[in-house]
Chains A and B, each alone.
Chain A
Amino acid sequence: MFTLSEKAIDAAALKSQTHDPQSGGFVCFEGWVRNHNNGKIVTALHYSAHEKLALQVGQDIIEQAQSRFDINQAVCCHRLGELLIGDMAIWVGVSANHRRAAFEACEFILETVKKEVPIWKNEHYQDGETGWVENDQ
């Protein structure tokens, strides 16, 4: 399942959605807001989205991962709104019978979400300026 959240991501609740008696392993990635980017001091971020398409594209990516890799459960949540340094921006968790598929699916979901889900990051810098960030295509 792919979700968006205006509130702090509850990693424990998301992890519970990946529990599966068939699974022998669980791989998780947490993306946090860091205090620097391209030589500038970052103080906060604002994430905005085209919410309807973000949910649709995000769910398509989860389904692609489920058909491409031998996994049991895959969950991803992306934050929206204002985030401060250290806040969690994205959480990806995958459970699988064996670890390799879980690692590969987790990376696939993360990279594809960053590239394709219509979410945009606006950084706030210490000097008072702001800047839109675009990931490499």
Chain B
Amino acid sequence: MINIKIELYGRLIGLFGQDHIFWQTQANSTMKALYQSLCQTHQVDDSIKGIKPVINDTFVDWNNEFQSGDVLGFLPPASGG
């Protein structure tokens, strides 16, 4: 098992009720598997439509894996301007 920090932004803060979560998960998980597991635990919609995954402040693909100590982020569609 590895420890990671997950940062949430925009409407995801409202959805999960917090702006960050410390999470323990299995090694070699993908961002998509992690997000779906997170949604399942918090009983929220697990659709990834419009959401961009981030590892250590860099945009990544949903199939990317992460390492222990990484800071992960999920960014919903932007609404600036």
Please report A residues at the B interface, Cβ cutoff 8 Å. Answer: 31, 47-50, 52-53, 78, 89-90, 110, 113-121, 132-135, 137
Contacts and interface: CB of A to CB of B under 8 A. Distances in A.
A119 B11 CA distance: 11
Interface of B: 7, 9-11, 14, 50, 52, 54, 57, 59, 73, 75-81
Given A52-B57, A53-B54, A135 B79 contact: yes
B80 A132 contact: no
Contacts of B81: 31, 78, 89-90, 110, 113-114, 135
Nearest to A89: B81
Given A31-B81, A50-B73, A113-B80, A118 B50 contact: no
Nearest to B77: A134
Nearest to B19: A48
Given A48-B9, A48-B10, A120-B11, A134 B57 contact: no
- In order of increasing CB-CB distance, the 5 nearest A-B pairs are A120-B10, A119-B80, A114-B81, A132-B11, A121-B79
B80 A53 contact: no
